[in-house]
Amino acid sequence: MITIVVVLLALVFAGVHIAIALGVTAAIGIYLMLGDMEVVRTFVANTAYEALRDYVFAVIPLFMLMGDFLAKCGAATDLYTLANRMSRWLPARLAVATIIANAIFAFVTGVSIAAAAAFSRIAYPEMRRYGYDRQFALGCIAGSACLGMLIPPSVLMIVWGVLTELSIGKLFLAGVLPGLSLAFGFCAYVVIAAMSKPSLIGSGIGQPMKAAPLGAAVTVPLDPDEQPIGELLFSTSLVLALIAGVLGSIWFGICTPTEGAGVGAVGALVLALIKGITWREIWQVVLNVGRTSGPLLLLLFCAQLYSRVLSMTGFTETAKTFLLGTGMGPIGILLVMLAIWFVLGCLIDSISIILLTVPIFAPIAMALGFDPIAFAIIGILAIEAGLLTPPFGILVFTVKAAVPEPNVQLAEIFRGSAPYWIILLLVIAIIIVFPPIATFLPGL
């Protein structure tokens, strides 16, 4: 037990790829227990076959296709421009529009990095053009992008569901109310900040900027008063209809998550064709999704292999017995788990954190009496906070790479996103105290 945990942590912190670390450690564990390389080979082969042929694994690349098609055809730009136009009566309307557009875009992509990259090119130049404080604008983009990991269809939810065998459809439902609460909290913050310190949103006059598209075909939207409202409403209504159709069919049991993801990918392709996407761009989207989802599926296989070995060694049961024997109580043990997630969030990416900790933490949480759905949302929120936590903060690095200003500093983005990190912690505390926020919709 001790050997395989120590070896895994040593490999991860030495910079070895998480999939290799999980796979190598699992193989070492099997060999130490059974002492036969042929048994190791058979065990690994059987686990690979059973894991990767699982029907649910297709959910990840299909939802990625859906999101990438809509990003490539400019739907994200239309969402932002319409949200901007509809919120002009609010202080900090560009920041509010960014948060609203991110929330809607999260219903499509389920990937925070995609939203961070897109809105760094769409929203940031507009904010700077109107004189917004740079740190305030950068923090808004990085902070609101993390909605993609909570609002369904979330890649983190899919990975969590695969590892714990929870219903992915129920996890999607559980993320809706916490995700909308988080978006509301973000909007409230930017409005209050703008009212208390008007210099954050400038005087409406700034230096014009031009965004440089990278990857997806995202460009700076037209001024809200110039772009025809009919085009914006048509494009946004198609996106909303696609979201409602896909997620509604999953939630009402018409489709499995995999079938719903397939329908969404085809629907997004049709919408992208309507908006003028080229066949060359379609091919680029397919290649990009393959490059992204392939390593992720390998990660999930290695995580399942490692999880089985942990169970065979009795580590999960030993950890549960130890924590229950400390006398800290359920809340105390939960706080220990949250602290571990926050520390890991400073060092490694979110999916790796789930793969390392959920096979151990989920059984302990169930033994403590936590609802598995509510615990999943608490865990995803805590891990999501790692996306904004220095020194790793993958969303911060994404925004730094994507904004069209070369002299932006990482520390500037971290400072700007700190209030959003605090709001994340507040939502975690609220769900711990009131679990029905997460369990109400899945229980209907």
pLDDT tens digits, one per residue of 215-263: 444 444 445 455 677 777 887 888 888 888 888 888 788 888 888 888 8
Please report the pLDDT score of residue 205 as a whole number: 42
The enclosing H or E element of 7 equals helix 2-13
pLDDT tens digits, one per residue of 135-144: 999 999 989 8
pLDDT tens digits, one per residue of 143-153: 988 887 788 77
Mean pLDDT value across residues 319-347: 81
Q: How many residues does the chain have?
A: 444
Mean pLDDT value across residues 102-113: 75
Return the ∠ at Cα 183 (arms to 132 and 145), rounded to 5°. Answer: 65
Please report the pLDDT score of residue 438 as a whole number: 92
**Residue 122: is its pLDDT beyond 70?**
yes
Please report the pLDDT score of residue 420 as a whole number: 93
How many helices and strands in the chain, by DSSP H and E? Answer: 21, 0
Q: What share of the chain is helix, strand, coil (3-state, %, to 5)?
A: 75, 0, 20
Minimum mean pLDDT range among 111-115, 212-216, 305-309: 212-216
Please report the pLDDT score of residue 227 as a whole number: 63
Q: What is the dihedral of CA 2, 9, 390, 160, to 10 degrees?
A: -80
Place 19 in a pLDDT band, splitting at 50, 70 and 90.
confident
pLDDT tens digits, one per residue of 348-360: 767 778 888 888 8
Place 51 in a pLDDT band, splitting at 50, 70 and 90.
low
Mean pLDDT value across residues 200-211: 53
**Residue 49: is its pLDDT beyond 80?**
no
CA 241 vs CA 247, 254, 296, 345: distances in Å: 10, 16, 29, 35
Beta bridge partners of 216: 214
Token pair belonging to 111:
């990937």
Q: Which of 416, 422, 421 has the alpha carbon at shortest distance from 136?
A: 416
pLDDT tens digits, one per residue of 373-407: 999 999 999 888 877 877 767 788 878 877 877 78
**Residue 154: is its pLDDT beyond 60?**
yes
